[in-house]
């Protein structure tokens, strides 16, 4: 990227904001050569991201589906819309990074990313999500997980 004023590549990012709604990153940049300030918008490429289901079928990553799953898990919990949006954004970014060049991620890995995110967001939502998505093979695992949470 070059400064639109003097074409220098010596740029500094002074501010970065994630816009969840349209999957874009808005940045303010400062040209260190001439002091020109400008804004850039980068689209986050996610059109190629595919989720491999347990039965081997592939489907496009569905942000709305993820959002609904999280909202259900966070029902009546004190988590702001902003935190929710950030969590979705974060999960999606990690999924894209994990998928890397293949553009594919296992649904279990996606569930794992979601759980990790929820764990730091809200412990109750974390346990709810884990149970909804049947991450636990038997009830003891579920109990162990709750124990671990109450100790941490």
Using the minimum distance from each CB to Zn ion, give the nearer residue, 31 or 49: 31
Using the minimum distance from each CB to Zn ion, give the nearer residue, 8 or 97: 8
Chain residues that interact with Zn ion, rule: CB under 5 A: 3, 5-6, 8, 31, 33-34, 36
Q: How far is the CB of 37 from Zn ion (least distance, A)?
A: 10
Q: How far is the CB of 16 from Zn ion (least distance, A)?
A: 19
Tokens representing residue 82 in the block: 């902003």
Q: How far is the CB of 43 from Zn ion (least distance, A)?
A: 24
Tokens 């950030």, located at residue: 86
Using the minimum distance from each CB to Zn ion, give the nearer residue, 36 or 90: 36
Q: How far is the CB of 11 from Zn ion (least distance, A)?
A: 8
Using the minimum distance from each CB to Zn ion, give the nearer residue, 8 or 60: 8
d(CA 96, CA 64): 16
Q: How far is the CB of 9 from Zn ion (least distance, A)?
A: 9
d(CA 13, CA 152): 37
Using the minimum distance from each CB to Zn ion, give the nearer residue, 6 or 143: 6
């Amino acid at each position: 990227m070059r400064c639109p004023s003097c074409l220098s590549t010596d740029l500094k990012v002074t501010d970065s904001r994630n816009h969840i709604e349209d999957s874009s990153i808005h940045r303010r940049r400062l040209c260190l050569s001439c002091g020109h300030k400008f804004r850039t918008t980068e689209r986050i490429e996610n059109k190629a991201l595919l989720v491999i289901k347990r039965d081997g079928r592939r489907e496009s990553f569905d942000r709305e589906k993820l959002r609904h799953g999280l909202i259900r898990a966070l029902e009546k919990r004190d988590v702001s819309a902003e935190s929710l949006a950030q969590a979705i954004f974060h999960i999606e970014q990690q999924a894209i990074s994990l998928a890397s060049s293949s553009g594919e991620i296992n649904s279990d890995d996606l569930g794992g990313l979601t759980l990790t995110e929820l764990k730091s967001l809200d412990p109750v939502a974390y346990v709810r999500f884990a149970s909804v998505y049947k991450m636990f093979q038997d009830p003891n695992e579920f109990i162990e997980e709750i124990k671990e949470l109450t100790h941490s």
